[in-house]
Structure 1
Amino acid sequence: MKHCFIISAFCLFSLLGYGQRFEPYHSFEIGAGVTLNETVGDAETNGHTVSPHININYNPHLYTVITAEYQVGKLKGGDSLLTQSGRQFSNNFNAFFVKGQLQAGHLFGQSDVVLAQLASDFYIGSGIGIIFNNIKQVSRYSHHFQDYYTGGPDKSQNLLIPLRVGYDFKVLNFYKEVLFRVDAAYQHNLMMGDGMDGFEAGSSKDILSQFSLSIKVELSGKRRTN
């Protein structure tokens, strides 16, 4: 986990410097969207929920993005009646991320070839985040085994390492200025802790997997694509 943190921090700060080696392109965006969450933890069955998010984005280059994102919503998992452990939880969470993404356009450049233009918008990214867990509903006893109990905190905070892949589709106007972006991504969050589900069991940390869709609107800055 320590190595993941070091690699993510290196990638994030490298993005800031890497974008400056290209022609000036400094713009700010605000975005919003929805996220499909899947929790993988100590509950025996994974849970799925949908939650909203908002973000602020800085683009030092057309194909480099630094994002600050806030998420709020509910996470859940487990089944108190059908699983052996009886574990079930509902977590009213808040999370904040700082992420960087590097798009394939750094490899292809600004090409007139349509396929190269489409491929340029694929990206990878990483960063760091923190989640504030608030367990509102929880089942800690098993209906199958007498006196079987799983403890854990009802409130906690965990650092996260987001590993992200996605596609950032740019919508341009007649002057080849970016009007807005549609960002579709998968994010695999590695947790430095075991509080997402409110249970402390086993040696594995919790995992939060997310599929997200965002619309980002340009606010200001130089935003010409050539």
Structure 2
Amino acid sequence: MKTELNKLFGDFVSIFFPRECGCCGCVLKRQEKFICVACDFHLPYTNFHEYSDNDTARQLWGKAPVEEACSFLLLQKDSRVEHLIYQIKYNRQPFLAEYFGYQYGLKLLKVQAYQGIDFIVPVPLHSSKFRKRGYNQSAYFGRGLSRAMEIPLREDILIRKKATISQTGKGRLDRYENVNDVFDCQPTVLMANVHILLVDDVLTTGATIVSAALTLLASFDCRISIVTLARA
């Protein structure tokens, strides 16, 4: 009886506050959670986690010594994924990042290359941007991965010491110069040869995540693997 009442109440609320798909904006059906069945079917999932020689890994070769690297989705202009990233970053829906992080974490659990990771570190926002946005979307993505993989999320290690202007519209060289020396590590003691999974929302040129990885490698005796929600 209580379950039926809850369903009726949920249907009543949805009339005035309909839940929308995070990828296309259509009204979700009762059994759909964050994205609709059509978007789930049509989203450009990469399957990069299934092989080490993937496009994300290749993009980082020669820039930072990482163990493994992969991205969950392909990002193209005017696409479902672009709408999703916009909702996450600018429309106060970071739970979408956590949802996709959880889904990807379940897949990474089955891959030998992502076994033995000690903890997850999200690429941080500068405090000024964090105050303005109210959350770090990369941390939410990391939370989803953390829940699925049962690996601790550490937001207390890597910090962003400099505020940078937006990377949008910048060329490859300008992007690298824009994030040069912007990260630092909090003083902490980590075990030797610790394996860190560094995570971010979107990989474009790789400038930001490479800078973050190099900062961690310079500060600790560690190995780095990288996972992003999407790559351009």
Q: Which has the higher helix share?
A: 2
TM-score range, shorter chain: under 0.3
When the two structures are superposed, what TM-score results if normalisation uses the length of structure 1? 0.24
TM-score normalised to structure 2 length: 0.24
> Higher strand fraction: Structure 1 or Structure 2?
1
